[in-house]
Amino acid sequence: MPTMTLLQAINDSLRTEMRRDNRVILMGEDVGVNGGVFRTTEGLYSEFGPDRVMDTPLSETGIIGAAIGMAVYGLKPVSEIQFADFIYPAFDQIVSELAKFRYRSGGEFPCPVVVRTPYGGGIRGGLYHSQSPEAYFTHTPGLQVVIPSTPYDAKGLLASAIRGEDPVIFMEPKKIYRSVKGDVPDGEYTVPIGPARVVQSGTDLTVFCYGAMVDVCEKAARKIQEEGYSVEIIDLRTLYPLDEETILNSVVKTGRAMVVYEAPKTCGYGAEVAALIAENVIDSLEAPVKRVGGFDTPFPYTLEYVYVPHPVRVYQAMQEVLQYQ
């Protein structure tokens, strides 16, 4: 089985799905000749040509709006927004249109558009090349929100997104585009949208995370395990629809929970996980649920390493939750 980076796995998934189904087309800024600014679409323009790999004008609302029209007609567009920070010009097309097409037409017009976008810190990109806007989209009924953290999942989840019948916001943790490597099967396979992944099982504490934070949590867990604790790490993978069963079962087992994410803490995705736990299994809790997120500020440049949850901050939070009496 070939070993791939996250980036290569995404590229491989796009290529595989485009070969499998000629209705799949890509569009975005610099995705064609240039192969994407991160090279996720490298080689696809030369293989599939300008009708299926489209370099678009600099208009995010155009990239999404046109994809909606194509999907309504019967194509399977995969739109790339170059950085999640630049998705806001298309917010209207995503939130008012893409998410609501099926519902407002009584099911007549499904809109299976996949929106791929790199998100999060990790490249010292400051305010506008680092944001994690996932919660805006999980708050929008009609959208599925998917975030892979391994090459295997990236390929399989993207394939599911492309083959699916509903719109998917597919967010790619750019911090680990090249740093994470793993085995990726040749050819076609899918990983279903929905189920979370147990990264490691444990009995004292459950840590919920996704994207680049999985690696951060694993680092922190290794440290706290030296102190004799047993930590369960769950990679949510799909933020909507959420795998409530896996989350709640794990908390019932461990009795302690925390959520780690890069976005500003307040009203970030961790709030949803914490509320879900409180609503359903509060009696199982032996400590308050803890959120470790970014601070409630825009994303900084020089102090990025202070802002993004760092293994040390996660480790400290683990200590707090584990030692709570």
Partner 1 sequence: MSEPLLQVMQDDAKKVTLPPGLSEADLKTMYEGMVAIRVYDERSLKLQRSGRIGFCVTSFGEEATQVGTVAALQDIDWIFPSYRQYGVPMYRGVQLEDMASHLYGNKFDLAKGRQMPAHYTFKDKRFVSISSVIGTQIIQAVGCAMAARIKGDNCIAATYFGDGATSSNDFHSGLNFAAVYRAPVLFFLVNNQYAISLPVKKQSGNELLYKRAEGYGVPGIRVDGNDVIAVYQATKEAAERARNGEGPTLLELFTYRAGSHSSSDDPSRYRSQDEMDSWKKKDPIERMKRYMQKLGIWSEAYETEIWESFRERINQFTTAAEEQPEPSWESLFEDVYAQMPASLERQKDQLIARESGLELSNEGEFPL
Ligand X SMILES: Cc1ncc(C[n+]2csc(CCOP(=O)(O)OP(=O)(O)O)c2C)c(N)n1
What distance in Å separates the CA atoms of residue 192 and residue 128, rounded to the nearest whole number?
A: 31
For the CB of residue 60, give the shortest distance to ligand X in the complex, in Å: 6
**Closer residue to partner 1, CB minimum distance, 183 or 296:** 296
- Give whole-number Cα distances, 51 to 54, 70, 71, in Å: 6, 12, 15
Query: Which range binds ligand X by CB under 6 A, 7-15, 82-90, 235-243, 295-303?
Result: 82-90
Task: Assess contact for 128 and 85: CB atoms under 8 A.
Answer: yes
Looking at the Cβ atoms of 240 and 261, the one nearer to partner 1 is 261
Where would I find the beta strands (DSSP E) of 29-93? 53-55, 76-80
Counting residues that bind ligand X (by CB under 6 A) gives: 6
Instruction: Name the token pair of 1.
Output: 């089985």
- CB half-sphere exposure, 272, CA atoms < 13 A: 17
Of 58 and 282, which CB lies nearer to ligand X in the complex structure?
Answer: 58
Q: Min. distance of Cβ 94 from ligand X in angstroms?
A: 14
- 87-146 residues near ligand X, rule: CB under 6 A: 89
Token pair, residue 16, equals 């595989």
Q: Do residues 162 and 189 make contact, with C-beta atoms less than 8 angstroms apart? A: no
Q: Rounded CA gap, 67 and 69, in Å?
A: 5
How far is 51 from 72, CA to CA, in rounded Å?
Answer: 17
Active site residue 129: yes
* Stretch 51-80 residues interacting with ligand X (CB under 6 A): 58, 60
Identify the active-site residue in 76, 100, 129, 174: 129
What is the footprint of partner 1 within residues 51-90 (CB under 8 A)?
55-59, 61-62, 85-86, 88-89
Which partner, ligand X, partner 1, none, binds residue 219 by CB below 5 to 8 Å per kind?
Answer: partner 1
Q: Which is nearer to ligand X, 121 or 268 (CB)?
A: 121
Minimum distance, C-beta of residue 209 to ligand X, in the bound complex (Å): 28
41 binds ligand X (CB under 6 A): no
Q: Which is nearer to ligand X, 89 or 126 (CB)?
A: 89
Q: Which stretch binds partner 1 (CB under 8 A): 104-112, 166-174, 191-199, 297-305?
A: 297-305
| 266 is a site residue for partner 1 (CB under 8 A) | yes
The item of partner 1, ligand X, none sharing an interface with residue 126, based on CB under 5 to 8 Å by kind, is partner 1
Q: Do 67 and 101 touch, CB atoms closer than 8 A?
A: no
Q: Give alpha helix (H) positions in 139-198.
A: 151-163
The reply to whether 29 sits near ligand X by the rule CB under 6 A is yes
> Coil, helix or strand for 60?
helix
Nearest to 117 by CA among 96, 140, 136: 136
β-strand partners of 144: 168
Helical pair 213-225 and 311-323, crossing angle rounded to 10 deg: 50
117-156: contacts with partner 1 (CB under 8 A): 124-129
Binders of partner 1 in range 23-42 (CB under 8 A)? 29-30, 33-35, 37
Contact between 161 and 170 under an 8 Å Cβ cutoff? The reply is: yes
Residues found near ligand X in the complex (CB under 6 A): 29, 58, 60, 82, 86, 89
Please give the positions annotated as active site: 129
